[in-house]
Amino acid sequence: MPDPSAPMSPSAPAEQDWLAGASPRVRAMCVDLRARLFAFNPGVSARISPRHNQRCCSFLLDCRSFVHAVPLGARLRLLLILRRGDLEDSDGIARCTAGRTSHGRSEWQIDVFDGRDLERAMPLIRQAFEATMALAVGLPKDKD
């Protein structure tokens, strides 16, 4: 498993090409996001794997995506994989893109411009992670 604290530099291997052209601030946010994701649950972090393509990095838990990170200019767009109604977003920072995607589960979009935005997004990312973890072990998601 790659080291989450390893720097993402322009000379990094091909798996890092998704950050080609990204600003230093966006690169730093990607490193921070990766480190935070691998710190979610030490017992489960070994089951998290990043998957890169030319334009984004998807983070998977047991081969199920829970968040995609897409660098766009001066911001990082996060797409959370959750059904409509499953996200508890008291700050209102996520926008539902249900019906606008081809995925079986809806995506919630969050635009991150700096470290404060990423800090506010982390509880929402955790919700997507926990929902994916429940699916991975076959447990139904609790509804209150």
Question: Which pLDDT score is estimated for 5?
Answer: 41
What's the confidence (pLDDT) of residue 105? 60
Region of poorest pLDDT, from 3-7, 58-62, 135-139: 3-7
- Whether residue 28 is predicted with pLDDT greater than 70 in this model: the reply is yes
Q: Is the pLDDT of residue 14 over 70?
A: no
Q: Does the predicted model carry a pTM greater than 0.85? A: no
- 70-95, pLDDT tens digit by residue? 999 889 999 999 887 788 998 899 99
Percent of the chain past pLDDT 70, that is, above it, reads 79
Cα torsion through 93, 4, 35, 82, rounded to 10: 40
Handedness of CA 46, 48, 51, 56 (dihedral sign): negative
Chain-wide mean pLDDT for the chain?
81
- What pLDDT, in 10s, does the model give residues 97-142? 877 655 556 689 999 999 999 999 999 999 999 999 888 777 555 5
Cα distance between residue 92 and residue 105, in whole Å: 20
**Domain spans in the chain, listed from the N-terminal domain onward:** 14-136
